[in-house]
Structure 1
């Protein structure tokens, strides 16, 4: 074998070893990173959400055990999920995609579909037709026929009192009950909420109507990026109508974890979002809380323990666990990042990109690591290193060939050279 051939072999071998070392190092960093999958700082999007989200499929509790992370508490709810916002990192879940009736937590989807349609200062006089079709036993805000209300009053009725009269009135303004249901279903589809089937805009028990802990988390995440949604979801009490007058009265938010009532202590740092109950759905809850610059979202559906405050106390336990576990817990799933559509402004899920929509008043800005393709950000340095090694080796081989040509055969070749 010629000296040039040996040099080429040595160059190729060196380049291969160098490239292999550089290739393996980032992979190890990803696998052994502080969060188990890439670097999920608040505001950064996971690189491969689809790969991780598969862990949410199937039945039972999903949690990746680690020595320094406590296990999530045992709760009786049929389905639940704990998510770190705005990174979207799912810390733990149980039956996250199980279809269950959502009760009034579905009003969050109603708000996502209808809230942008009308200015809060718009005045609407409630008619008898607006209030038609309300199911017996529905929660009511106490709207009165032939009385003018600002749109903001109607949303206070939706979020605080879970009032079906407020939902029906806004749906009537939106073009009717059927159109509003269609709008809600389209909004769910756009956000990637594949488990949700809408049959009643106010969440009242209706055959075929279901959602899931995962989808409710999508609704909560999307809602908290909107200023008005976040405001209404966190409001503890309001005057109805807010302008006052002889017929005005005070309504209080029925979310006991937010206001503290009926034997439930308010949760420190809670910022909303929505509770629900029907005889078929049981109790349901979407709850977001902020502590020390971290925002967590818990969705919980139908506790089985029988306690009247079980939905709130089980949510409290999951929030407490989440704040303790979040800094070190590995993700079992990732909610898709949201980005406004350039044409319509509607939020849509995106993948392989940093999160660009901050949570409103959630204490965390829209931070990114400057590298949308996080898992592959090492590719350019690797390519550059391999190219440099290959160029150096090629230059060495050509130099030695020219030198041998000038020296002639058998002159200064050195040990081990020559042909076999």
Structure 2
């Protein structure tokens, strides 16, 4: 398991304190729950950690529970994490395995994005579009038309286009080969809760991920300049349409500031998703004062914009607590 995954699996508070050359481990507080190890938990498991200088010794760290996370969160699982260090500030069932919907496209991008230059052109064939699932979100790719790889990635990130994912997966050796490669990538990163069946996140039996793993994918992705640029793009021109192109707007409302959701201050983007099985899912990253946090929210109640409101409240709390 990689160090990033290990850091996200910590659900208690254990801080080593150096005093006069000796290391002392603080006891785990009674409120802390054991790590889920990739299993769904029967009840809530919320971790709250904070560390700050002690009053008497330079470099001394003490640990105690931080302020409670926001009240009223309905998501089945969530995390709020420091993007740089991987420290989990708070979480609920972070390793619960749930359907990820299009947030799984973050892993697809980690796997495939480095392989093809942005200006490479693909003439789309019927085979490229074969098997796109009924009811899929689409960016509007047409057989016989030519698209730059950069256009395809904007289709993936802005419109969550499963048609764009199919084209890129075919370029990468095929649908099943790409799914297997994504699975291997997840394990190489230390993500143990993810099982990949469809590269686009379309519902399939056995396909799961977790708030912990999805946060890890986002953190790794944000270190890639292309990933960061695509996931943070609000709108772009996409080939096709009466005037030769048409404007596409990011479906991540926290980024685009649409449909009754205000644009979140300092938002960097990342990825949202929805299927009937998964419900609403979201990985949201934001930066303030040089500090970047990632909030991942899976399957809140079905009230309008709940996934965005809960992610925003977690980020607000995280910036105050970190």
* TM-score, normalising length: structure 2: 0.83
Confirm whether residue 270 of structure 1 aligns to residue 267 of structure 2: yes
The runs of at least 4 consecutive aligned structure 1 residues that moved more than 3 Å come to 26-32, 52-59, 64-69
User: Unpaired segments of 5 or more residues in structure 1?
Assistant: 1-22, 37-51, 327-420
Q: What's 1:76 paired with?
A: 74
Assess if the C-alpha contact under 8 Å between 2:95 and 2:210 holds in 1: yes
Q: 1:198-225 deviations in whole A, cap 9, x for unaligned? A: 0111101111000000000110011001
Assess if the C-alpha contact under 8 Å between 1:150 and 1:241 holds in 2: no
**3-state DSSP of counterpart to 2:147:** strand
Q: How far apart are residue 29 of structure 1 and its match? A: 7.8
Q: How far apart are residue 245 of structure 1 and its match? A: 8.6
The structure in which a higher percent of residues are strand is 2
Correspondent of 2:116 among 98, 102, 118: 118
Paired with 2:33 and 2:147, the residues of 1 have a C-alpha distance of 44
Paired with 1:248 and 1:155, the residues of 2 have a C-alpha distance of 16
Correspondent of 2:46 among 61, 66, 71: 61
Q: What's 1:325 paired with?
A: 321
**3-state DSSP of counterpart to 2:159:** coil
Q: How far apart are residue 137 of structure 1 and its match? A: 0.1
Paired with 2:101 and 2:232, the residues of 1 have a C-alpha distance of 19
Correspondent of 2:293 among 279, 293, 296: 296
**3-state DSSP of counterpart to 2:297:** strand
Paired with 1:162 and 1:70, the residues of 2 have a C-alpha distance of 36
Paired with 1:151 and 1:177, the residues of 2 have a C-alpha distance of 17
* TM-score, normalising length: structure 1: 0.64
Paired with 1:245 and 1:150, the residues of 2 have a C-alpha distance of 19
Assess if the C-alpha contact under 8 Å between 1:153 and 1:240 holds in 2: yes
Q: What's 1:369 paired with?
A: none
Paired with 1:96 and 1:255, the residues of 2 have a C-alpha distance of 22
Q: 1:178-204 deviations in whole A, cap 9, x for unaligned? A: 101011001101001110000111101
Give the length in aligned residue pairs. Answer: 285
Q: Which moved more, 1:23-32 or 1:260-269?
A: 23-32
Paired with 2:21 and 2:260, the residues of 1 have a C-alpha distance of 52
Assess if the C-alpha contact under 8 Å between 2:33 and 2:45 holds in 1: no
User: Unpaired segments of 5 or more residues in structure 2?
Assistant: 1-17, 51-62
Q: What's 2:95 paired with?
A: 97
Whichever of the two has the greater Rg, that structure is: 1
Paired with 1:268 and 1:24, the residues of 2 have a C-alpha distance of 40
The structure in which a higher percent of residues are helix is 1
Confirm whether residue 198 of structure 1 aligns to residue 183 of structure 2: no
1:321-400 pair list within 5 angstroms = 321-326=317-322
Q: How far apart are residue 62 of structure 1 and its match? A: 1.6
Q: What's 1:280 paired with?
A: 277
Alpha carbons of structure 1 residues 254 and 126: separation in structure 2 relative to 1, 3 Å: same
CA root-mean-square deviation: 2.5
